[in-house]
Amino acid sequence: MTRICVLGLGYIGLPTASVFAANGFHVVGVDVDSQIVDVLSKGQIHINEPGLKTVVCAAIQSGNMLVRQVPEQADVFIIAVPTPLKDDNSAELSYVIQATESILPFLQQGNLVILESTVPPRTTEDILVPILQKSGYKIGEEIYLVHCPERVLPGNILHEFVSNDRIIGGINDKSSDKARGIYEKVVQGNLLITDATSAEMAKLMENTYRDVNIALANEVCRIAYDLNLDALEIIKLANMHPRVNLHQPGPGVGGHCLAVDPWFIVEKSNNAELIRLSREINDAMPNFVVGLVKKMLDQVVKPKITVLGVTYKGNVDDIRESPATEVIRKLKQANIDVGIYDPYVKNYEFEVSNLEEAFVASDLILLLADHKEFKYLSADELGFLMRNKQLFDTRNCLNHSKWKDAGFSIKVLGKNNQNS
């Protein structure tokens, strides 16, 4: 039976490990965080992803998956550790370097090493190859190496892991062939073979494409405020053209991928001008939203606002790089009292309240993440708790007539200053 050692048991590594185990592989999942190993060993999971707990528990109970704090010998090593941004917007590769170094004592001739973490172009060739060479094996001939970027969507990871097409970028053909032999056992999508650096760049371009297009929508939104226009109406009309598909504006771009990956290209090429500017436009949106909030509250003494949702998008518990954090920070800097309600988030750098506490004596609801639960909130009951009934929906996701009927004045990001 093929043995797989997966390093990093987070949003990517845990589904990867458990899906391989469910398909008959013998998997050792490794995480340096002892709490994560403890939680998983007790049959619990530490992340919120639909269906994942069932697959992980089944994998562990079947004996196909073990959870450890250090690697073990295996046929295949999959590295799925974090690659965050440093303060200077360059890639923090120390986790990838440590994880690669940690497998050196366990490498054997014929092993395949798969880097799934998202990395700047040339990382596999320039950083992983020299580390693996320290094993004494010839890389590409005795140890095989590929970059197989992950492109799943949080909230739908288990389905997309199996059904998405997958890029396999080997440092040579033998490496790609080896990796194809592993992924074809679990992936139903196409396996797209290329070289390691092209795989790295293609992955980054997927998220960069989306980031640049969101920046364009956010720019339309800001221009519309200058020209006293409704950006959402303009985007809707333009999208009636058969070859136009403008995105929607929002309070900023977050998450560990879209807000991060474009910088990995900027770091490597001075020609990445549009990509850099798009990041800057999207990063400026929290400030723009706070400016609009301040205008709405300019008549209110000692204002309090209720933030609904702090994750980077709806229906997930992921707060990484969430624009909500920057919005809240700026509101607090402006001495605005902030009550926060998010049914998905428990640990956050600001206090998350229960529903009633978040709304009591509030002057404005600021919706920042479109969790489905928010659609079922009672506008009447919550309005009763508030001091002023204002709603600012930055995701254009609520039933505005319901809130209007309950006496709220409504603003929607992009709809300029009109009541919707």
From CA 10, how far away is CA 45, in angstroms rounded?
Answer: 10
Q: Which is nearer to ligand NAD, 252 or 414 (CB)?
A: 252
Pairing of strands 76-79, 3-7: parallel
Structure tokens at 323: 């624009």
Q: Of 257, 318, 316, 259, nearest to 286 (Cα)? A: 259
Handedness of CA 315, 318, 323, 325 (dihedral sign): positive
Beta carbon of residue 154, minimum distance to ligand NAD (angstroms, whole number): 5
Instruction: State yes or no: is 57 an active-site residue.
Output: no
Task: Please give the residues from 98 up to 117 whose contact with ligand NAD meets the rule CB under 6 A.
Answer: 98-99, 102, 116-117
From CA 264, how far away is CA 262, in angstroms rounded?
Answer: 5
Nearest residue to ligand NAD by CB is 10
Among 2, 3, 26, 32, binds ligand NAD (CB under 6 A): 32
Q: Binding of ligand NAD at residue 154 (CB under 6 A)?
A: yes
Q: Binding of ligand NAD at residue 10 (CB under 6 A)?
A: yes
Task: Please give the residues from 66 up to 95 whose contact with ligand NAD meets the rule CB under 6 A.
Answer: 80-83, 95
Task: Please give the residues from 252 up to 281 whose contact with ligand NAD meets the rule CB under 6 A.
Answer: 256-257
Site string for ligand NAD, 315-354 (x = CB under 6 A): ----------------------------------------
Q: Which is nearer to ligand NAD, 135 or 388 (CB)?
A: 135
Beta carbon of residue 237, minimum distance to ligand NAD (angstroms, whole number): 33
Q: Binding of ligand NAD at residue 11 (CB under 6 A)?
A: yes
In contact, 99 and 7? CB cutoff 8 Å: yes
Instruction: State yes or no: is 203 an active-site residue.
Output: yes
Cβ atoms within 10 Å of 242's Cβ, excluding its own? 6
Q: Which of 5, 148, 178, 203 is catalytic?
A: 203
Beta carbon of residue 269, minimum distance to ligand NAD (angstroms, whole number): 20
Binding site for ligand NAD (CB under 6 A): 7-13, 30-33, 36, 80-83, 95, 98-99, 102, 116-118, 150, 152, 154, 256-257
